[in-house]
Amino acid sequence: MKILHVLAQLPSKTGSGVYYSNMIEGFKRYNYQQKAIFGYQDEYPWDILDSEDQYPVVFKSKELPFPIVGMSDVMPYENTLYSSMTEEMVYIWKEAFRKRLEKVKKDFNPDIIFAHHLWILTSLVREVFPDTRIVGLCHNTDLRQARMNPHIKDKYVEKIHELDCVFSASEQQKDEIVEIYGIDRDRIISVGGGFNQNIFYPPKQKTYDDKIRLVFCAKIDPSKGIYELIDVYKSLELDDVTLDIIGSPDEENKKRIEEYIKDDSSIRIYNVRDQVALGDELRKKDIFLMPSYYEGLGLMAIESLACGLYVVTTEIEALMTLLGEEIRNSGVIKYVPLPRIYDIDKPVKEDLPEFKECLKKDILCQIEKIREKREFSEEIKAKIKSFSWAGLVDKMNDIIYSELKD
């Protein structure tokens, strides 16, 4: 089988980029022929496939003289906003991707295409490949773009309903996909997400420091609840607890977060090189914190559980559904009720005191487990391991041969 993978962004760094790379890596076990089209800039290294199997669309170049256009308005690398693109920018963007699509069609003629994000590029993929099996993958940020920029959706995203199949992050997400794109619900399959078991795994021997190590890892942006988290952390007033913030803020958030953490040496901000380095960092920590107001799946919570960390996160429906009641009832993860949300990822200010109080309560609960040196049961470890990429790709492969067969 010949598979083409398509993504408009860097094939790493963000949730969808990691998803993209792990899918390709996972399908290698089946010895399929694979090619990849993706956004590229700043000589970013990516070696999941050999160079002859890569069809990068190079941004910040003569062909595309602007940074990669990000599905989120805040990205971990220099980016352009869809909402700020002129008609000329959209035209040259589409032509650059069309050129790669037509070349790979001539060179490779894939049997099936996995197109990430239900947005402009996936619509273009259907246009260029009208007779090829195409699976669209929803990452939630695409639905957000459609709601925030309906004029862009109406003008440039015309063929999502013509996809053969859509993979959603959860059962709940299906309704939103139907509402926004009008695709038949029976062509939407909930697959969830997975973690790379070769990167995210528990340490051979859990070690405990004289400090309980809390960690946050996400885009440093108000939508991730980072500022409320810092407020809560400071209110703990515990000498034996530290907070590490892994991420790279833009200039606006850099100034704001530096103001928040000044004069507190127990809070560190730093970034990591790649996913491998992230896995190494997580294994040194005790509790992962994800107080986000908006997530597609919340894969970082699963990766952290896989590394043996206790987790505190907001009530992300897709994550809660995927992990199920057994993991929830085990106490390895605590879900904090969300405040009321408007504009997709902004909390109602009046709800924040109660939200922060609930967040604090759950963090203290997980801290107590670390103090008691409680470790995960073997049953829970096995359950968490079942959410690895190996299992998810096997599921996708079964779908290819059952749901998408002629």
Q: Is the pLDDT of residue 102 over 80?
A: yes
CA atoms within 13 A on the CB side of 376: 29
Q: In which band, very low, low, confident or very high, does the pLDDT at 406 lie, cut at 50, 70 and 90? A: low
Give me the chain's average pLDDT, please.
Answer: 94
Radius of gyration, CA atoms only, the chain: 21
CA atoms within 13 A on the CB side of 38: 29
Q: Residue range 101-114: average pLDDT?
A: 97
Q: Residue 65 phi/psi, 5° resolution? A: -85, 40
* pLDDT score, position 66: 98
Q: In which band, very low, low, confident or very high, does the pLDDT at 15 lie, cut at 50, 70 and 90? A: confident
Q: In which band, very low, low, confident or very high, does the pLDDT at 391 lie, cut at 50, 70 and 90? A: confident
Distance of CA 164 to the CA centre of its chain: 23
* pLDDT score, position 251: 87
Counting residues of the chain whose pLDDT is more than 70, the rounded percentage is 99
Q: In which band, very low, low, confident or very high, does the pLDDT at 302 lie, cut at 50, 70 and 90? A: very high
* pLDDT score, position 170: 83
Q: In which band, very low, low, confident or very high, does the pLDDT at 405 lie, cut at 50, 70 and 90? A: low
> How far are the Cα atoms of 79, 293, 312, 326, 358 from residue 336, in angstroms, in the given order?
31, 11, 7, 17, 6
Encoded amino acid at 283, one letter = R
Q: Is the pLDDT of residue 157 over 70?
A: yes
Pairing of strands 333-336, 341-342: unpaired
pTM comes to 0.75
Over the stretch 170-197, which tens digit does the pLDDT of each residue have? 888 899 999 999 999 999 999 887 888 8
Q: Is the pLDDT of residue 318 over 90?
A: no
Identify the bridge partners of residue 54 per DSSP, sorted by sequence position. 36
Over the stretch 236-291, which tens digit does the pLDDT of each residue have? 999 999 999 999 888 889 899 998 888 899 999 999 988 899 999 999 999 999 99
Token readout for 93 is: 């963007």
Q: Is the pLDDT of residue 207 over 80?
A: yes
Q: Is the pLDDT of residue 19 over 80?
A: yes
Q: What is the SS3 assignment for 121?
A: helix
Q: What is the SS3 assignment for 201?
A: coil
Token readout for 334 is: 């605590």
Q: Is the pLDDT of residue 355 over 70?
A: yes
* pLDDT score, position 134: 97
